[in-house]
Amino acid sequence: MKVLIIGATGTLGSAVRKIFLEKTNDELTLFSRHVDKLAINDKREKKIAGDVLDITTLKKAVSDKDFIFVALSGPLDKMAAKLVTALTDKKVVRLVFISSMGIYNEIPAEIGSEGNLDVNPILQTYRRAADIIENSSLPSTIIRPGWFIQGPVSYEVTHKGEPFGGHDVSITSIADLVLRLRLDEKLYLNESIGINQIKNN
């Protein structure tokens, strides 16, 4: 497949890039404002320097891609709107978009309900971005991770409407989930899923 990683120089983008290079034969396009500093594998990778809010560059990046992974920070709602516009009339297998736990007020008190949208208005752009993706016609999966930690692959998934399962999640666990979504076109298709590290592990 032709895979686009938007936010390729960030923590999650780098982890997804690594696991895809190791465990697939996919062709990767790395998109970031600071992508020029990356050394790439010329046989399997290319890079595009750009801003997601620049629709011209974004349209060039998403052209002919099968699988698109997005892990960004900033005005996510505006970024999501640009993505949906750029992908209009494009044939994409899956858009995977990183949001945040708490956008549906799904964090129970014992985990830390202060991380919910009702208490933490910073999450408003994350919620609006998720709504924009969900309300589009794109085949998509929204991932709502806990706080990033280092550690092994060991995680559980919760669905929209279910209480969140834990406070933290390892970066390697998120990357593993993204790989699973790439390998199974129907897995969590058109869902918003939470991911957290399994407790006592």
- Please give the model's pTM, rounded to 2 decimal places: 0.95
Strand partners, 55: none
Q: pLDDT tens digits for 103-149?
A: 999 999 999 889 999 999 999 999 999 999 999 999 999 999 999 99
CATH no., domain 2-197: 3.40.50.720
Residue-level pLDDT at 200: 60
Q: pLDDT tens digits for 77-115?
A: 999 999 999 998 888 889 999 999 999 999 999 998 899
The domains of the chain are located at 2-197
What are the strands, taking DSSP E only, across 2-88?
2-6, 27-32, 45-49, 67-70
Alpha-carbon span 8 to 117, nearest angstrom: 27
